[in-house]
């Protein structure tokens, strides 16, 4: 083998090893039944015990360079773990915490990203404002639909500097003066929150990136976030599809397993095709991000578009295959349906991804 | 544009340069589209490839190939597709029949047939499908009975391409009618000029006739022309049948068609508003782009797996189905985008893309029929990949 083939084999092996470890940990410490139990609680739920294990394994710091005390992992590894998290329907903040660490260095207590704003498409510059004050900034603005926002102890958030009009990224503690966290209640019990900043003082050390670099980091963070959510959605879809396929092998109606009926068989094949296209696009986008390729934005947009537009239909179709049993509270199918619906809402909307993808399509190559 | 999806080593880069140098020299004479697709053009292209030692890079060296690695084959296929190179006239014989003869043929069959495939001296067509044996190929009924040193063949083949100019045909015949349907079949090489063979072209929906019916009435074929063991033809054929070359060459066609529909969307308008400004059109284009890009990545991953000596992932078995469906949908959408000009044919004033849009719409009906209908593909994927029970019992 040539040198470069060895590299290729090693990078593929690294992703496979990461995935295998993640799958095993999730199997040991999580069951979808726990998500069902959370849905009956008054307050949003997640799995701090599982998260402690994930932190111990270095998951949140996966994307941080080894020199900075992180795992030195790739975006493909991020996608690999995210897919396993989705497959398990595990309630942990892996994707937003890993992206927060990519922006701000190795993590301690739970930290998430707070980029999106009310009514915003998440793609524009933030409307939150940062005013220079004594080396640091004073932050005012509102962030919406923050993943794990009511569980996190700090946020990596974005704003625009009033003096220069350039973006700035900084870390804000959840209990700092002027921070108001409003917990939301979502279909999958996830601790989403709206977060308001009112004249919040951020000292110089908590300003992560400022100046021309800030836009690049913000865009890079959004790209990794989108790929991570898309990968988690791939896992959700793959798990419920596997379960429906298994059911179709054994459930007998009219004297034969229902999977022998082409209406069922062909539906499952088509859904599997949608999953494989999504998984390929996630892999392609992860590769483009890693190489800092000029088409990375377009590839991320395609992955987010396809996952968002096609994969929620997988649990929908799976419930159709399960029939009545799939409509019961005790069956797991609705857990995947709920998680898929929320993940789709976390992805950038199709109006945005369509435009980014098309810009690359019509540009002369 | 050097990205094949897998990294190239030094010898592979040298091979790429050799192929590119050949293409630079040879393609000068094939710049015209009509030349490229004409019979003489394909014949001449085969001759040029043979001269340059590029007629078959994948075959073993002792049979005239270069024992090219998976990466080199990918490089070869990709460079050919990028240059818009013509098809060698014996493409299917090189990809399918040749490897079969190499694996199963007698030394005499190898010594006689293989060089003539490469030079284009023999032009081969394939006679597998029959009127009642298409997707269900093993139901074939063309009979062959031993008589002295010959087999006597009676029956009918259909959807045979190139039959109107080929001089040889390789067929599957039923030699043991009492055996289970997969066990009584024999693989046979036949001179297409033998007495008793009648070839009738089939005119297709687009008007041209690339396929024929081939009738056999008491056609005598020497027993020496049987490839592999008698009655074992199903196994012989399956060793190369459905062997779809995995590589980026297969996705070049859908990449080109994607480019075409994007251009059509940009160039056409309704009441002065470009169609590409329509959100519905924009969504469709991105749906196509997503699938095309995914298939490109799946192909390069499958190649990488081959290079690393691993089995391709499950996604590779879906690629044919997904590719043919997106190709057909894009051709149909192209017709929609072109509006009235889309239904005008070659030769008409105002025809979109000189009639290629209308022609493509018709021709692409075949995408979901050939090499196993999409319904059969779904059954096979459902059974092999998803492990679902068979639909017929």
The model's confidence at residue B2, banded by pLDDT at 50, 70 and 90, is very low
Nearest Cα residue to B171 out of B231, B219, B115, B233 = B233
Average per-residue pLDDT for chain A: 93
Choice among A65-69, A184-188, B301-305 with the minimum mean pLDDT: B301-305
Which of B2, B258, B293, B303 should we substitute to test contact with A (largest number of A Cβ atoms within 10 Å)?
Answer: B293
What the block records as the tokens of B229 is 């063991």
Cβ distance of B262 and A362 shorter than 8 Å = yes
Whether residue B231 is predicted with pLDDT greater than 90 in this model: the reply is yes
What would the DSSP string read from start to end of A44-97?
A: ----HHHHHHHHHTT-TTTTS-GGGTS----HHHHHHHHHHHHHHT----HHHH
SS3 assignment, position B371: coil
Strand bridging mode A111-114 / A154-161: parallel
Choice among A182-196, A271-285, B14-28 with the minimum mean pLDDT: B14-28
Cβ distance of A248 and B391 shorter than 8 Å = no
SS3 assignment, position A215: helix
Cβ distance of A276 and B378 shorter than 8 Å = no
Residue with tokens 């060296």, as numbered in its chain = B61
Which pLDDT belongs to residue B29? 84
Give A314-360 pLDDT, tens digit per residue. Answer: 999 999 999 999 999 999 999 999 999 999 999 999 999 999 999 99
Residue with tokens 């369509």, as numbered in its chain = A354
Cβ distance of A265 and B388 shorter than 8 Å = yes
For chain B, give every domain's residue range.
Answer: 10-89, 124-232, 249-384
What the block records as the tokens of A237 is 């879809």
Which of B290, B298, B375 should we substitute to test contact with A (largest number of A Cβ atoms within 10 Å)?
Answer: B290
Whether residue A258 is predicted with pLDDT greater than 90 in this model: the reply is yes
Q: What are phi and psi of B48, to 5 degrees?
A: -65, -45
Q: Any chain A CB within 8 A of the CB of B224?
A: no
Whether residue A33 is predicted with pLDDT greater than 50 in this model: the reply is yes
Mean per-residue pLDDT, A156-184: 95
Q: How far apart are CA B88 and CA B253, in angstroms?
A: 17
Nearest Cα residue to A80 out of A57, A62, A66 = A62
Q: How far apart are CA A154 and CA A52, in angstroms?
A: 16
Instruction: Give strand pairing partners of A140.
Output: A129
Cβ distance of A283 and B6 shorter than 8 Å = no
| Fold equal for B124-232 and B249-384 | no
User: B residues 182-211 near A, CB within 8 Å?
Assistant: none
Q: What is the CATH number of domain B249-384?
A: 1.20.140.10
Q: How far apart are CA B339 and CA B281, in angstroms?
A: 13
Domains (range + CATH), chain A: 3-109 (1.10.540.10), 113-211 (2.40.110.10), 213-362 (1.20.140.10)
CB-based contacts of B193, cutoff 8 Å, min separation 6 = B167
Give B140-164 pLDDT, tens digit per residue. Answer: 999 999 999 999 999 999 999 888 8
In A125-277, DSSP assigns E strands to 129-133, 136-146, 154-161, 167-173, 179-183, 193-202, 207-209, 252-253, 256-257
Q: Any chain A CB within 8 A of the CB of B291?
A: yes
What would the DSSP string read from start to end of B81-138?
A: HHHTPPPPTTHHIIIIIHHHHHHH--HHHHHHHHHHHHHTSS-EEEE--BTTBSSSGG
Name the minimum distance, in Å, from the CA of A136 to any CA of chain B: 43
Query: Across the interface, which of A3, A260, A354 has its CB nearest the CB of B390?
Result: A260
Which pLDDT belongs to residue A5? 63
Q: What are phi and psi of A182, to 5 degrees?
A: -110, 110
Average per-residue pLDDT for chain B: 88
The model's confidence at residue A10, banded by pLDDT at 50, 70 and 90, is confident
Give B242-297 pLDDT, tens digit per residue. Answer: 444 444 456 888 999 999 999 999 999 999 999 999 999 999 999 999 999 999 99
Q: How far apart are CA B74 and CA B80, in angstroms?
A: 10
Task: Tell me the ipTM for this assembly.
Answer: 0.93
Instruction: Give strand pairing partners of A157.
Output: A114, A170
Name the minimum distance, in Å, from the CA of B298 to any CA of chain A: 6
Instruction: Give strand pairing partners of B174.
Output: B143, B185
Percent of chain B topping pLDDT 70: 95
Name the minimum distance, in Å, from the CA of A87 to any CA of chain B: 17
What the block records as the tokens of B256 is 């080109």
Give B161-212 pLDDT, tens digit per residue. Answer: 888 889 999 999 999 999 988 899 999 999 999 999 999 999 988 888 889 9
SS3 assignment, position B327: helix
Q: How far apart are CA A8 and CA B309, in angstroms?
A: 13
A279, with CB counted inside 10 A (0-12, 13-18, 19+), is buried
Q: How far apart are CA A243 and CA A238, in angstroms?
A: 9
CB contacts < 8 Å between A and B, how many?
138
**What residues of B are annotated to the active site?**
244
Which pLDDT belongs to residue B309? 74
Chain centroid, CA B85 distance in Å: 15
Say how many C-beta atoms besides its own lie within 10 A of residue A197's C-beta. Answer: 24
The correct answer on CATH 2.40.110.10 for the domain covering B124-232 is yes
Higher pLDDT: B119 or B244? It is B119
Strand bridging mode A252-253 / A207-209: unpaired
- Identify the closest residue of chain A to B314 by CA–CA distance: A276
Name the minimum distance, in Å, from the CA of A92 to any CA of chain B: 29
Which of B72, B386, B387, B393 should we substitute to test contact with A (largest number of A Cβ atoms within 10 Å)?
Answer: B386
B194-231: b (≥16 Cβ within 10 Å) or e: eeebebeeeeeebeeebbbbbbbeebebeeebbbbebb
Query: Across the interface, which of B9, B297, B391 has its CB nearest the CB of A2?
Result: B9
CA angle, residues B298, B302, B305, in degrees to nearest 5: 140
Give B45-95 pLDDT, tens digit per residue. Answer: 888 899 888 888 888 899 988 888 878 887 888 888 788 888 888 888 888
Query: Across the interface, which of A3, A8, A280 has its CB nearest the CB of B298?
Result: A280
Q: How far apart are CA A168 and CA B15, in angstroms?
A: 50
The model's confidence at residue B30, banded by pLDDT at 50, 70 and 90, is confident
């Amino acid at each position: 083998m040539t040198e470069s083939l060895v590299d290729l084999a090693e990078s593929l092996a690294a992703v496979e090893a990461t995935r295998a470890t993640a799958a095993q940990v999730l199997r040991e410490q999580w069951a979808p039944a726990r998500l069902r139990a959370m849905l009956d609680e008054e307050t949003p739920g997640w799995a701090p015990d599982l998260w402690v294990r994930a932190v111990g394994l270095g998951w949140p710091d996966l994307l941080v360079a080894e020199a900075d005390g992180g795992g030195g992992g790739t975006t493909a590894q991020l996608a690999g773990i995210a897919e396993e998290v989705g497959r398990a329907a595990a309630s942990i903040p892996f994707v937003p915490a890993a992206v927060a660490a990519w922006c701000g260095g190795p993590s301690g207590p739970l930290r998430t990203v707070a980029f999106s704003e009310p009514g915003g498409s998440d793609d524009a510059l933030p409307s939150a404002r940062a005013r220079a004050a004594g080396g640091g900034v004073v932050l005012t603005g509102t962030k919406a639909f923050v993943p794990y926002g009511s569980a996190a102890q700090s946020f990596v958030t974005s704003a625009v500097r009033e003096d220069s009009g350039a973006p700035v990224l900084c870390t804000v503690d959840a209990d700092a003066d002027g921070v108001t966290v409003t917990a939301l209640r979502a279909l999958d019990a996830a601790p989403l929150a709206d977060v308001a900043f009112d004249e919040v003082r951020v000292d110089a050390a908590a300003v992560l990136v400022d100046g021309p670099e800030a836009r690049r980091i913000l865009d890079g963070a959004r790209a990794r976030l989108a790929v991570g959510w898309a990968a988690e959605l791939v896992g959700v879809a793959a798990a419920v599809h596997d379960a429906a396929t298994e059911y179709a092998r054994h459930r007998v109606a009219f004297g034969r397993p229902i999977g022998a009926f082409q209406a069922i068989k062909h539906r499952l094949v088509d859904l599997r095709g949608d999953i494989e296209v999504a998984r390929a696009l996630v892999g392609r986008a992860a590769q483009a991000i890693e190489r800092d390729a000029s088409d990375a934005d377009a590839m991320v947009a395609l992955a987010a578009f396809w996952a968002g537009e096609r994969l929620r239909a997988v649990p929908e179709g799976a419930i159709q295959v399960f029939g009545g049993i799939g409509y019961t509270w005790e069956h797991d199918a609705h857990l995947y349906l709920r998680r898929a619906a929320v993940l789709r809402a976390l992805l950038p909307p199709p109006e945005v991804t369509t435009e980014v993808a098309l810009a690359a399509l019509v540009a002369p190559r | 544009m050097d990205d094949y999806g897998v990294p190239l080593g030094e010898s592979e880069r040298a091979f790429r340069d050799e192929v590119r140098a050949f293409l630079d020299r040879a393609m000068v004479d094939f710049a015209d589209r009509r030349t490229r697709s004409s019979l003489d053009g394909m014949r001449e292209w085969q001759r040029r490839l043979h001269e340059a030692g590029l007629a078959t890079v994948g075959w073993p060296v002792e049979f005239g190939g270069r024992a090219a690695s998976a990466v080199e084959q990918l490089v070869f296929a990709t460079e050919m597709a990028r240059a818009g190179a013509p098809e060698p006239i014996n493409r299917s014989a090189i990809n399918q029949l040749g490897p079969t003869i190499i694996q199963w043929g007698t030394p005499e069959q190898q010594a006689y047939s293989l060089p003539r495939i490469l030079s284009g001296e023999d032009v081969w067509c394939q006679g597998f499908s029959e009127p009642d044996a298409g997707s269900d190929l093993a139901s074939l009924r063309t009979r062959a009975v031993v008589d002295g040193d010959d087999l006597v063949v009676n029956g009918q083949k259909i959807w045979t391409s190139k039959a109107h100019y080929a001089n040889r045909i390789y067929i599957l015949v039923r030699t043991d009618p009492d055996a289970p349907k997969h066990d009584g079949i024999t693989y046979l090489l036949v001179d297409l000029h033998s007495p008793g063979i009648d070839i009738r072209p089939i005119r297709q929906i687009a008007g041209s006739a690339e396929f024929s019916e081939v009738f056999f009435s008491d056609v005598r074929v020497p027993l020496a022309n049987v490839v592999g063991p008698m009655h074992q033809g199903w196994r012989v054929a399956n060793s190369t049948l459905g062997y779809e070359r995995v590589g980026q060459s297969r996705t070049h066609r859908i990449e080109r068609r994607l480019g075409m529909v994007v251009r059509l969307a940009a160039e056409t308008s309704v009441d002065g508003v470009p169609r590409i400004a329509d959100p519905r059109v924009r969504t469709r284009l991105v749906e196509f782009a997503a699938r095309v890009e995914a298939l490109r990545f799946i192909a390069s991953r499958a190649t990488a797996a081959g290079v690393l000596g691993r089995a391709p992932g499950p996604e590779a078995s879906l690629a044919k189905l997904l590719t043919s469906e997106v190709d057909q949908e894009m051709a149909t959408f192209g017709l929609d985008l072109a509006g009235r000009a889309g239904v005008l044919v070659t030769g008409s004033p105002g025809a979109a893309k000189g009639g290629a849009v209308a022609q493509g719409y018709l021709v692409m009906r075949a995408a979901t029929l050939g090499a196993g209908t999409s319904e059969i593909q779904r059954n096979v994927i459902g059974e092999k990949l998803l492990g679902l029970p068979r639909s017929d019992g």
